[in-house]
Amino acid sequence: MNKRNYGLITAITMITGIVIGSGIFFKSDDVLTYTNGNVLLGVFVFLVAAIAIIFGCLAISQLATRTDKPGGLVAYAEEFVGIGVSTSFGWFQTFLYLPSIAAVVAWVTGIYVTQLLGIEGNLENWTLIGIITLTVLFIMNILSAKLGGYFQNASMLIKLIPLLLIAIAGLIFGESGTVISNDVKTMGEAASSFGWVAAFAPIAFSFDGWIVSTSICNEIKNSKRNLPIALTISPLIILVAYVAYYVGMSTMVGPETILEQKDASAFTAATMLFGNIGAKIILAFVVVSILGTVNGLVLGYIRMPYSLALRNMIPGSKILAKEEKKLAGMPLNSAIFAYVITLIWMFVHYISQKIGMRGDVSEIAIGVSYLNYIVLYIAVIRLAKIGEITNKIKGYFVPILAIAGSLVIISGSISHPLFIYYFVTCAAIMGFGFLYYQMNKNNIL
């Protein structure tokens, strides 16, 4: 029987800590790009995305409170949809979703490290630092799971410092009145092009991670009551923090400067507020925050191939399921496999940036993940139809709005220049996963 250790407050802080990461620091300029520099339109997109995610959280919580199986998304698909679909989801998580996000966030570490150390900021240096970051964090988590966990807990607190400082200072000292006044006048023109729809993709990246939080359901006290509350309150807290940072940054530095300097604008804002030395300190906090995000991804990813291997859902399951006794049972082969796949996605991301593609490779994976969520939302509706969920609001209203929200976020990915290529790749990998299940269904647990 699972030991339930976490109360409502702890659940809220855990979920908030999982979601708040690196995305907001390097996606604000992308949001402004898609909204033609209109800050208010960006706030509107943030609000719509948050609402979509809240209903998604509530819908998934209906599944999470009905199973004690660990594994999050893959476990819910296995329990409420089917093992074949679960295998497809597992392949998607293993070969696309987790490694592409880990690669991109590690690459972003390079952007801020070069700013912090005064190194020339170019694609090659960012990529090299990203590879070094991945290598160090994979080794750290392989050698000591506890050390990786300690670093994760410390970075969770540190990541809030630059976010709140820039947000509060920007709102107090920035020219918010002027920016908002100008945006009101140009709102109609900015919205008429519909290019702003693409802003849902980077915002979805910033909010990404909420699905991971449902995997702690079996450790929450009175989860049927507390998990839905936590999954409602947490996105609202995150929304307030993100919008405050986004508006504070935009009013302090100015939309034009952010569009020109892109990821360097956070350093510019910190310099304006605290001088060169203070800005370096803030930037150091940002770097630690991003490292914490990469570490969290590595922490979860190194066990994903292992998790599939235990169910015989992946080729080479016997090798990948092997535990290393000298490393306290660490699935070393699974970790090495995850590291190699992440490096491959780092190379793909490097090529996409080299040829000047807008956005990054992870945005497509996140967009496609919302298609997977729709399958689970439909499972909630099915449970309502058979009387397993008796509350009509929870069984029908919530999942229907979650589906609508997912379609809105997916619309942002469709406008991405790389969408068709990566969508085909995602569909192919998930198809191979399902085909593998069909060929080996007698051996899959």
For residues 23-33, average pLDDT? 75
Say if residue 240's pLDDT is above 90. Answer: no
More confident site: 3 or 242 = 242
Is pTM, for the whole model, over 0.85?
no
For residues 20-43, average pLDDT? 77
| Residue 218 forms part of a structural domain | yes
When pLDDT is cut at 50, 70 and 90, the band that residue 358 belongs to is low
d(CA 197, CA 201): 8
For residues 307-327, average pLDDT? 85
More confident site: 52 or 134 = 134
Q: Which residues of 222-261 are buried (b: 16+ CB within 10 A; e: fewer)?
A: ebeebbbebbebbbeebbebbbbbbbbbbbbbbbebbeee
Say if residue 149's pLDDT is above 70. Answer: no
When pLDDT is cut at 50, 70 and 90, the band that residue 118 belongs to is confident
The reported pLDDT for the residue numbered 222 is 75
Structurally, how many domains does the chain consist of? 1
| pLDDT tens-digit readout, 380-389 | 999 999 999 9
| Residue 147 forms part of a structural domain | yes
The reported pLDDT for the residue numbered 128 is 96
Please give the residue range of the domain that contains residue 432.
8-440
For residues 152-177, average pLDDT? 71
Among 120-124, 285-289, 321-325, the range with the most confident prediction by mean pLDDT is 120-124
> Helix and strand tally (H, E) in the chain?
22, 0
| Residue 195 forms part of a structural domain | yes
For residues 402-408, average pLDDT? 88
Say if residue 1's pLDDT is above 50. Answer: no
Name the average pLDDT for the chain: 81
More confident site: 268 or 147 = 268
Q: How many CB atoms lie within 10 A of CB 197?
A: 19
| Residue 2 forms part of a structural domain | no
For residues 116-126, average pLDDT? 90
The reported pLDDT for the residue numbered 176 is 67
Q: Note whether 317 and 149 are within 8 A (CB).
A: no
More confident site: 79 or 158 = 79
The reported pLDDT for the residue numbered 258 is 81
- Of 60-74, 138-152, 277-291, the one with minimum mean pLDDT is 138-152
The reported pLDDT for the residue numbered 424 is 86
CA-angle at 262, arms to 259 and 267, nearest 5°: 120
The reported pLDDT for the residue numbered 229 is 82
d(CA 59, CA 74): 16
More confident site: 98 or 204 = 98
Residue 445 tokens, joined? 């647990």
The reported pLDDT for the residue numbered 152 is 54
When pLDDT is cut at 50, 70 and 90, the band that residue 22 belongs to is low
Residue type, 401: L
The reported pLDDT for the residue numbered 115 is 85
The reported pLDDT for the residue numbered 146 is 62
The reported pLDDT for the residue numbered 7 is 72
| Residue 1 forms part of a structural domain | no
- Of 138-152, 208-222, 247-261, 279-293, the one with minimum mean pLDDT is 208-222
Say if residue 150's pLDDT is above 70. Answer: no
d(CA 307, CA 143): 19
Say if residue 58's pLDDT is above 90. Answer: no
The reported pLDDT for the residue numbered 129 is 95
CATH code at 234?
A: 1.20.1740.10
For residues 169-191, average pLDDT? 72
Phi and psi angles of residue 50, each rounded to the nearest 5 degrees, phi first: -65, -40
How many Cα atoms are found within 13 Å in the side-chain-facing hemisphere of 426?
Answer: 27
The reported pLDDT for the residue numbered 399 is 94
| Residue 3 forms part of a structural domain | no
Say if residue 3's pLDDT is above 60. Answer: no
d(CA 231, CA 12): 7
More confident site: 378 or 214 = 378
The reported pLDDT for the residue numbered 91 is 93
Closest CA to 403 of 50, 47, 59: 59
- Of 88-97, 208-217, 305-314, the one with minimum mean pLDDT is 208-217
More confident site: 290 or 92 = 92
Q: State whether residue 299 is helix, strand or coil.
A: helix
Closest CA to 389 of 380, 402, 376: 380
Q: State whether residue 121 is helix, strand or coil.
A: coil
